[in-house]
Amino acid sequence: MSLRVAAAALLLASPILVDGQATAERPRARDIGLVTGIFPVGARNAITDVEGVRVGQVTVVSGDSINTGVTAIIPHAGNVFLERVPAALFVGNGYGKLTGVTQLRELGELETPILLTCTLCVWRAADAMAQWMIAKTGMSDVRSINPVVGETNDGGLNDIRKRAVTADHVVRALESATSEVVEGSVGAGAGTIAFGWKGGIGTSSRKLPISLGGFTVGVLVQSNFGGSLTMNGAPVGRELGRYNFQRELGDTARQSDAADGSIMIIVATDAPIDSRNLERLASRAIVGLARTGSGMSNGSGDYVIAFSTAASVRRLRNAPQHSVADLGNERMSPLFVAVAEATEEAIYNSLLKATTVKGHMTTAEALPLDRTVEILKRYNVLKWGKTLAR
């Protein structure tokens, strides 16, 4: 068995090998001095800095034809169906196959974990998670369940018509969830492409100071979209010669178009927020997406799901009423800034950690580190955490 296939069989609790290169060998944004925004990050700089949130991933790889997988985001350690969290959806552009969202919007809550996978695997993943949920203790009387499953299309690197994700993969992702998040070409990001380079899973967090509430906001992304890559304002995509509408602008050096694609953005916070303000929070994640150079093209499915883990806003199943203590509108602005910053950095991490993948129809090259760092130095956008005043 090859290193690549053997690694794909792991539950991803530790860095894996992809094409012979450990993801741990590729840096995150802060490892190269790319510091985004004004707020400090959490201990892991991950969505799991929000207490109780866990992430599980399974990568499905077979030769060069299958590069896909599952990423599971679990809001808390209990049974989410019995102890629901308020949630909201914001749609930047609705070209996608996101299941469970009409009920999520109607009730303003999650009753299952969130799964991310490939486009044609959505329904298999939803069925597998529903079966896994109803088999749990305390679920014997359940007659309805609303799985929330998002996707991006990894058909360039993955033979998507084979629908390689199975129920076993989904269960393994759910049951292997931990506080450690592996990034890059893993899980639901195994076959994704962003800005013409290899995309993938990325995460980041922000911790507000006590004077602003002390709350944490964490973001996880599945990056598979297009545009002109911009990092802290530096035009990295243009400098590297990969950006959208190149041919129409007369650049014939490359025949690819980096315009289309999709992104799933998952936002978690411990701030006590109801579904109305969670939708407002979700909408600000798009600010971070825009900063990276996305234009949210016609063929892009750009979705944000946000939820709160705060005990004061949880909803017990069949409770006749909920006594909710949530933040007022005037307390939201710091959280808006935090989610934009964390989204931007999560996208950078998804690109920087991703490794080159040879796939079904093409090869997606990893973002070239040396050239990228050189560009960032030339535009003086590194080490802002040390050089800019606080």
The DSSP code sequence of 316-376 is ETT-S--------GGG-HHHHHHHHHHHHHHHHHHHHH---EE-SS-EEPPPPHHHHHHHH
Residues in the chain where the model's pLDDT stays below 50: 1-22
pLDDT of 93 reads 95
Count of CA atoms in the C-beta half-sphere (13 A) of 226: 17
3-state secondary structure of 21: strand
Count of CA atoms in the C-beta half-sphere (13 A) of 102: 1
H helices, E strands: number in the chain? 9, 17
User: Which residues form the catalytic set?
Assistant: 262, 300, 302
Give the whole-angstrom CA distance, residue 345 versus residue 342. 5
Give the whole-angstrom CA distance, residue 221 versus residue 345. 10
pLDDT of 24 reads 57
pLDDT of 326 reads 84
Question: Quick check: 317 and 81 in contact, CB under 8 A?
Answer: yes
Question: Quick check: 362 and 155 in contact, CB under 8 A?
Answer: no
Give the whole-angstrom CA distance, residue 303 versus residue 110. 16
pLDDT of 6 reads 34
> Among 57, 56, 90, which residue's Cα sits nearest to residue 75?
56
pLDDT of 258 reads 60
Give the whole-angstrom CA distance, residue 336 versus residue 361. 39
Cross-strand bridge partners of residue 59: 69
Give the whole-angstrom CA distance, residue 170 versus residue 168. 5
Exposed (0-12), middle (13-18) or buried (19+): which is 173, by Cβ within 10 Å?
buried
The answer to whether the predicted template modeling score (pTM) of the entire model surpasses 0.75 is: yes
